[in-house]
Amino acid sequence: MRAKVSARSLFKGGNEGSEERFDLVVIGAGSAGFSAAITAADEGAQVALIGHGTIGGTCVNVGCVPSKALIRAVEPLHHARAARRFAGIEAEARVTDWAATVRQKRELVEELRRAKYIDVLPSHPRVRYIEGAARLAPDGAVEVEGRRLEAPRIIIATGSRPHVPEIPGLGDVPWHDSTSLLELEEVPDSLIVIGGGYIGVELAQILARAGSRVSILTRHGLLPRAEPEISQALTGYFAEEGITVRKVGGYERVEAGGEGVVVHVPEAGEARRITAEALLVATGRVPNSGGLGLEEAGVATDARGGIVIDAHMRTSRAGVYAAGDVTGRDQFVYMAAYGAKIAARNALQGDRWSYDNSAIPSVVFSDPQVASVGMTEAAARAAGHDVRVSVLPLEHVPRAIAARDTRGLIKLVADAATHRLLGAHVLAPEGADSIQAAAFAIRAGMGWDELGDAIFPYLTTVEGLKLAAQTFEKDVAALSCCAG
Q: Residue 351: which H helix or E strand, with range? A: none
Say which CATH topology domain 19-56+117-162+286-349 has.
FAD/NAD(P)-binding domain (3.50.50)
Q: Is 189 helix (H, G, I), strand (E, B) or coil?
A: coil
Handedness of CA 279, 285, 290, 296 (dihedral sign): negative
**Cα–Cα distance for residue pair 150/340, rounded to 1 Å:** 20
Residue 32 in contact with residue 339, Cβ under 8 Å? yes
Highest-confidence range of 5-19, 155-169, 250-264, by mean pLDDT? Answer: 155-169
**Cα–Cα distance for residue pair 413/446, rounded to 1 Å:** 12
**Cα–Cα distance for residue pair 203/71, rounded to 1 Å:** 8
Residue 348 in contact with residue 24, Cβ under 8 Å? yes
pLDDT of 5 reads: 32
pLDDT of 484 reads: 56
Feature table: binding site for NAD(+): 195-202, 284
Q: Is the pLDDT of residue 483 over 90?
A: no
Give the pLDDT mean for 144-154. 96
Distance of CA 457 to the CA centre of its chain: 29
CB < 8 Å & 24+ apart, contacts of 207-213: 207/181, 208/238, 208/241, 208/242, 208/243, 209/74, 209/75, 209/77, 209/78, 209/241, 210/74, 210/77, 210/95, 210/98, 211/95, 211/187, 212/187, 212/188, 212/278, 213/189, 213/242, 213/276
What is the band of 73 on the pLDDT scale with cuts at 50, 70, 90?
A: very high
Q: Is the pLDDT of residue 3 over 80?
A: no
Q: Which strands, in side-by-side order, build the sheet including 270-276? A: 253-257, 260-267, 270-276
The stretches of 138-279 forming alpha helices (DSSP H) are 178-181, 198-210, 228-240
Q: Is the pLDDT of residue 300 over 70?
A: yes
Q: Is 234 helix (H, G, I), strand (E, B) or coil?
A: helix
Q: Nearest-CA neighbor of 307 among 334, 284, 288?
A: 288
**Cα–Cα distance for residue pair 190/231, rounded to 1 Å:** 23
Distance of CA 370 to the CA centre of its chain: 12
Q: Is the pLDDT of residue 183 over 70?
A: yes
| Averaged pLDDT score across all residues of the chain | 95
pLDDT of 19 reads: 76
Q: Is the pLDDT of residue 15 over 90?
A: no
Feature table: binding site for FAD: 68, 158-160, 325
Q: Which residues face 320 on adjacent strands?
A: 154
Give the pLDDT mean for 58-79. 97
What is the band of 259 on the pLDDT scale with cuts at 50, 70, 90?
A: confident
**Cα–Cα distance for residue pair 165/219, rounded to 1 Å:** 13
Which pLDDT tens digit goes with each residue over 230-250? 999 999 999 999 999 999 999
Give the pLDDT mean for 272-299. 97
Q: Is the pLDDT of residue 12 over 50?
A: no
Class at the top of the CATH hierarchy for domain 362-478: alpha beta
**Cα–Cα distance for residue pair 161/54, rounded to 1 Å:** 13
Q: Is the pLDDT of residue 6 over 60?
A: no
Give the pLDDT mean for 267-290. 96
Ranges of beta strands (E only) in 47-157 are: 47-51, 127-131, 134-136, 142-144, 147-150, 153-156
**Cα–Cα distance for residue pair 34/32, rounded to 1 Å:** 6
403-422 b/e (C-beta count within 10 Å ≥ 16 → b): bebbbbbbbbbbbeeebbbb
Feature table: binding site: 68, 158-160, 195-202, 284, 325
Residue type (1 letter), 173: V
| Fold match, 19-56+117-162+286-349 / 170-283 | yes
Q: Nearest-CA neighbor of 441 among 465, 461, 418, 417?
A: 465
% of the chain beyond a pLDDT of 70: 96
193-214 b/e (C-beta count within 10 Å ≥ 16 → b): bbbbbbbbbbbbbbbbbbebbb
The stretches of 117-197 forming alpha helices (DSSP H) are 178-181
CB < 8 Å & 24+ apart, contacts of 168-174: 168/252, 168/253, 168/254, 169/253, 169/254, 169/255, 170/254, 170/281, 172/254, 172/255, 172/256, 173/254, 173/255, 173/256, 173/261, 173/279, 174/1, 174/260, 174/261, 174/278, 174/279
Give the pLDDT mean for 335-361. 97
% of the chain beyond a pLDDT of 90: 93
pTM assigned to the model: 0.94
170-283 is classed in which CATH architecture?
Answer: 3-Layer(bba) Sandwich (3.50)
Residue-range domain boundaries for the chain = 19-56+117-162+286-349, 170-283, 362-478
What is the band of 10 on the pLDDT scale with cuts at 50, 70, 90?
A: very low
What is the band of 110 on the pLDDT scale with cuts at 50, 70, 90?
A: very high
Q: Is the pLDDT of residue 16 over 90?
A: no
